[in-house]
């Protein structure tokens, strides 16, 4: 149960005065549905109104606060003309300009002969001072209500600054006095305030420098969030590991058969990753390991050999992938080795229905299937394994902690191996996988050739198409990836369809098209036609980013490459260079090309090491982007920035370990305060693993 002290913060935004349904919807879009979301929505800018010059000395272009007397109202002769009000102080005159103004409202706001304090941007127009639509107009006696420093919050269409700021202020007033969950000596050493005071400071910036992640207030809040994150991961890990695992020793017989069937020799990094996995499986502790390897480094074969070890002990294994496309692909790549080892392999996705599905489920429950490959359909209630020994999850970033746990519950104490082809920077690995041990497969498998990467301006599109025509005439196969248009998948789709038509006409070829809105069967058909060479060119949106394997494809064109993140560009480039032919990746950019985009394209040209690319991606874009929903759906932070607060993250990791060593059930006074912290940052899942205190 959430502690009562937090009830006010978890109320809905509509409980604030002045927030009706329309405003609630807009604020929710930007911040989230509850007051706590507003509290965590820190300012991204500040308007400084403390510059208070006399009119004669006012610098044009600056926001100024001036005290003036109202001299004259000059309505426009026709409605389309602006309404002007002349004002002055003892040094000069100024013109206030209003468009689509209501005369009676302005007469009330700016009565003739009265003194008013105004704030807004002063400009010089035809030798006279002007202020268009002042932000504030107040009487001298109301000056106390006037904000000299105004925080700026993220907005959305239809939501203006003032109601947003008012809502945040309303939420801040509901923040109760919290128990101190941090170590007092550490807080003192860092010269940090208590949580509530740090929040007030962070929401009340006076200068741009107050927005930096390194200010004491922002560091304190970031540390609170990072500690909640690390504690939650360690609690979940302790729970997963708490139940005694089982020793899976295997005989090595099936593994030897599969290795004998491989058309290549395993690399040293593959062998050492496999050794680490097998050591975990052979211990009494439950395995929870992350297998990181670059695109095409041979993770799947390592996972298969681990699964065979479980099968050798009479257990079952499961391999889960995020899309149906990937499931079919895994199935196709594993079948020859499964056949060589003499084991029973089956598949389960949302597409399997009726009698076929029933048969698979019955066989699974009876232990007549050794390895089951599937999508998240494996989570379904009706899926029962006879004895699941190892669960392998591919492309981890689509599967959060919750799903890791759900899959766990399918077996007695099943071991878990998670594979990701997205190399993750060290700091982010801690925040997303603090609950796991990590194995890395570095380098590329034997026979894999490097992909030549070229960066080209869109002005040279005709040259590119001419080269493409020559290559396709020689029998090559190519991908053409259309850009991600943030606003709408509809636009994404239109762009891809339009490009497919244009390329069909330009090349006189049958061009395939694949996108996220297609039904799975249509997508598979388009992919199968491309694999079989019936279509030589496949136009796609980013659905092909993950794991698509067509060794014959040797050309990858990424249009509007400047819109993609480094991790995505690296994933896309990894779709080619999978066969014996020489491969190339052409990154096509459009103007304007920003500094960050330029740096990204340069990195792509200079290196193909996914781990180098991941660190650079973090440096260029910050974690919000690297971990953003569109990229990965991994842990999102509201107040911490794992790049800027990397030192704090390491401290939080150690602190969390120490806390749980001393007080595993969080029952001490600090432990109880830490329970509040976990709930405050929405880590309810982790608190459930604590015995009630």
Asked whether residue 583 carries a pLDDT value surpassing 70, the answer given is yes
As given in the structure block, the two tokens for residue 209 are: 């420098």
Residue 626 pLDDT more than 70? no
Per-residue model confidence (pLDDT) at position 493 = 60
Q: How far apart are CA 109 and CA 392, in angstroms?
A: 68
Instruction: Identify the H or E element spanning 310.
Output: helix 299-312
Give the phi and the psi of residue 138 in degrees, each rounded to 5: -135, 155
Is 3.40.50.2300 the CATH classification of the domain at 50-146? no
The SS3 call for residue 180 is: coil
Q: Which 8-state DSSP code applies to residue 565?
A: -
Phi, psi for residue 142 in degrees, rounded to 5: -100, 15
User: Would you give the DSSP letter of residue 55?
Assistant: G
Under the banding of pLDDT at 50, 70 and 90, the label for residue 633 is very low
Closest CA to 287 of 139, 148, 404: 404
In 3D, which of 432, 438, 408, 439 has the Cα closest to residue 318?
Answer: 408
Provide the CB-side half-sphere exposure for 116 (13 A, CA).
23
pLDDT category, 491, cuts 50, 70, 90? Answer: low
Residue 293, helix vs strand vs coil: strand
How far apart are the C-alpha atoms of 445 and 518, rounded to whole Å? 33
The answer on pLDDT for 214 being more than 70 is: yes
CATH 3.40.50.300 is right for the domain spanning 452-607: yes
pLDDT per residue over 106-122, tens digit each?
999 999 999 999 999 99
Q: Which residue is it, tokens 């308007």?
A: 47
Other CB atoms within 10 A of residue 252 CB: 13
Mean pLDDT of 607-616: 82
pLDDT tens digits, 73-105:
999 888 889 999 999 999 999 999 999 889 999
Of the candidates 370, 363, 319, 367, the one whose C-alpha atom is nearest the C-alpha of residue 344 is: 370
Cβ(311)–Cβ(317) under 8 Å? yes
What angle in degrees, to the nearest 10, is found between the helix axes of 646-662 and 216-242? 50
Q: pLDDT (tens digit, 9 = 90+) per residue, 199-210? A: 999 999 999 999
Cross-strand bridge partners of residue 512: 538
**Which of 664, 656, 659 has its CA nearest to residue 693?**
664
Helix, strand or coil, per DSSP, at residue 181:
coil
pLDDT at 623 over 50: no
Q: What is the pLDDT of residue 692?
A: 45
Whether the CB-CB separation of 86 and 95 falls below 8 Å is answered with yes
**Virtual CA dihedral for 588, 567, 493, 589, nearest 10 degrees?**
-20
Residue 485, pLDDT above cutoff 90: no
pLDDT at residue 544 in the model = 63
Angstrom CA distances, 308 to 282, 305, 407, 421, stand at 13, 5, 19, 22
Bridge-based pairing state of the strands 288-293 and 388-394: unpaired
Mapped onto helix, strand or coil, the DSSP state of residue 115 is: strand
Instruction: Report the relative pairing of strands 437-441 and 288-293 from DSSP bridges.
Output: parallel
- Helix (H) or strand (E) run with residue 39 in it: helix 35-39
Q: What is the pLDDT of residues 13-39, one digit of tens each?
A: 999 999 999 999 999 999 999 999 999
pLDDT higher than 80, residue 635: no
Gap between the Cα atoms of 437 and 420, Å rounded: 13
The pLDDT of residue 630: 32
- CB 663 within 8 Å of CB 444: no
Are 253-441 and 452-607 the same fold in CATH? yes
Q: Supply the pLDDT for residue 411.
A: 58
Lowest pLDDT segment from 126-130, 404-408, 523-527: 404-408
Q: At 305, list the tokens.
A: 């050999």
- pLDDT exceeds 90 at position 619: no
- Residues 327-367: tens digit of each pLDDT: 888 898 899 999 999 999 999 988 888 898 999 999 999 99
Rounded to whole angstroms, the Cα distance separating 421 from 423 reads 6
Distance between CA atoms of residues 396 and 394, nearest Å? 6
Residues paired with 185 in a beta bridge: none
Q: Show me where the domains of the chain are located.
A: 4-47+153-211, 50-146, 253-441, 452-607
> Is pLDDT at 525 greater than 60 in this prediction?
yes
Closest CA to 244 of 276, 279, 283, 278: 283
> What confidence tier does 243 reach under pLDDT thresholds 50, 70, 90?
low
Q: Measure the CA angle with vertex 448, ends 579 and 466; round to 5°.
A: 55
Instruction: Give the burial class of 279: count Cβ atoms within 10 A of its Cβ; 0-12 exposed, 13-18 middle, 19 or more buried.
Output: exposed
Helix (H) or strand (E) segment spanning residue 454: strand 452-457
d(CA 500, CA 641): 40
Q: What angle do CA 230, 236, 239 make, to 5 degrees?
A: 140
Burial class (CB in 10 A: 0-12, 13-18, 19+), 492: buried
CA dihedral of residues 679, 683, 687, 689 (deg, nearest 10): 170
CATH topology of domain 253-441: Rossmann fold (3.40.50)
Per the structure block, which two tokens stand in for 289?
Answer: 């390991």
Cα separation, 40 vs 639, whole angstroms: 7
pLDDT band per the 50, 70, 90 thresholds, residue 241: low
Q: Check whether 188 has a pLDDT greater than 50.
A: yes
């Amino acid at each position: 149960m959430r502690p009562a002290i937090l009830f006010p913060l978890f109320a809905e935004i509509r409980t604030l005065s002045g927030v009706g349904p329309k405003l609630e919807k807009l604020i929710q879009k930007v911040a989230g549905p509850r007051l706590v979301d507003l509290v965590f929505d820190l300012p991204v800018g500040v308007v400084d109104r403390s510059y208070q010059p006399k009119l004669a000395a006012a610098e044009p272009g600056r926001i100024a606060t001036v005290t003036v007397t109202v001299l004259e109202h000059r309505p426009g002769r026709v409605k389309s003309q602006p309404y002007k009000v002349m004002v002055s102080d003892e040094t000069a005159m100024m013109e206030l300009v209003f468009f689509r103004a209501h005369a009676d409202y302005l007469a009330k706001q700016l009565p003739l002969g009265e003194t008013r304090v105004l704030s807004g941007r002063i400009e010089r127009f035809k030798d006279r001072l002007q202020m268009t639509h002042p932000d504030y107009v107040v009487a001298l006696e109301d000056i106390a209500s006037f904000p000299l420093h105004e925080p700026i919050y993220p907005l959305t269409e239809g939501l203006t600054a003032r109601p947003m700021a008012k809502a945040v202020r309303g939420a801040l007033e509901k923040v109760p006095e919290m128990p101190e969950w941090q170590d007092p000596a550490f807080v003192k050493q860092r010269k940090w305030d208590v949580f509530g005071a740090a929040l007030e400071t962070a929401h009340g910036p006076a200068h741009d420098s107050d927005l930096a992640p390194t200010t004491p207030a922002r560091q304190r809040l970031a540390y609170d969030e990072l500690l909640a994150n690390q504690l939650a991961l360690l609690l979940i890990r302790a729970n997963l590991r708490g139940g005694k695992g089982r020793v899976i020793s295997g005989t090595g017989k099936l593994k030897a058969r599969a290795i004998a069937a491989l058309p290549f020799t395993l690399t040293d990094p593959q062998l050492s990753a496999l050794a680490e996995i097998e050591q975990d499986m052979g211990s009494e502790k439950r395995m929870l390991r992350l297998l990181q390897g670059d695109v095409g480094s041979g993770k799947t074969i390592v996972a298969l050999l681990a699964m065979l070890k479980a099968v050798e002990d009479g257990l079952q294994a499961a391999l889960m992938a995020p899309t149906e496309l990937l499931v079919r692909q895994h199935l196709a790549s594993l079948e020859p080795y499964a056949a060589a080892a003499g084991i029973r392999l089956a598949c389960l996705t949302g597409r399997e229905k009726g009698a076929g599905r029933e048969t698979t489920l019955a066989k699974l429950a009876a232990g007549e299937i050794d390895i089951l490959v599937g999508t998240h359909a494996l989570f379904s209630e009706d899926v029962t394994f006879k004895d699941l020994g190892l669960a392998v999850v591919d492309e981890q970033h689509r599967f959060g902690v919750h799903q890791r746990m759900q899959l766990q519950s399918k077996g007695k104490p099943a071991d878990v191996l998670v594979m990701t082809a997205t190399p993750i920077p060290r700091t982010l690995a801690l925040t997303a996988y603090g609950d796991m041990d990590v194995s890395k497969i570095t380098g590329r498998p034997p026979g894999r050739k490097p992909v030549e990467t070229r960066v080209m301006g869109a002005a040279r599109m005709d040259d590119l198409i001419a080269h493409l025509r020559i290559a396709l005439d020689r029998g090559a196969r190519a991908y053409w990836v259309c850009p991600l248009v943030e606003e709408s998948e509809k636009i994404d789709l239109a762009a891809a369809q339009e490009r497919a038509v244009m390329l069909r006409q330009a090349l006189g070829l049958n061009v395939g098209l694949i996108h996220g809105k297609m039904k799975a069967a249509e997508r598979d058909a388009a992919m199968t036609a491309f694999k079989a060479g019936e279509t030589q060119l496949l136009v796609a949106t980013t659905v092909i980013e993950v794991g698509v394997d067509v060794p014959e494809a040797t050309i990858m064109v990424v249009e509007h490459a400047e819109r993609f993140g480094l991790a995505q560009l690296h994933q896309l480039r990894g779709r080619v260079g999978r066969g014996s032919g020489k491969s190339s990746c052409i990154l096509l950019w459009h103007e304007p090309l920003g500094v960050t985009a330029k740096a990204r394209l340069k990195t792509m040209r200079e290196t193909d090491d996914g781990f180098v690319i991941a660190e650079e991606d973090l440096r260029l874009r910050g974690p919000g982007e690297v971990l953003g929903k569109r990229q990965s759906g991994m842990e999102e932070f509201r107040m911490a920035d794992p790049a800027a607060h990397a030192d704090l993250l390491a401290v939080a990791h150690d602190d969390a370990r120490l806390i749980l060593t001393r007080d595993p059930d969080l029952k001490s006074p600090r432990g109880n305060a830490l329970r509040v912290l976990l709930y405050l940052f929405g880590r309810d899942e982790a608190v459930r693993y604590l015995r009630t205190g």
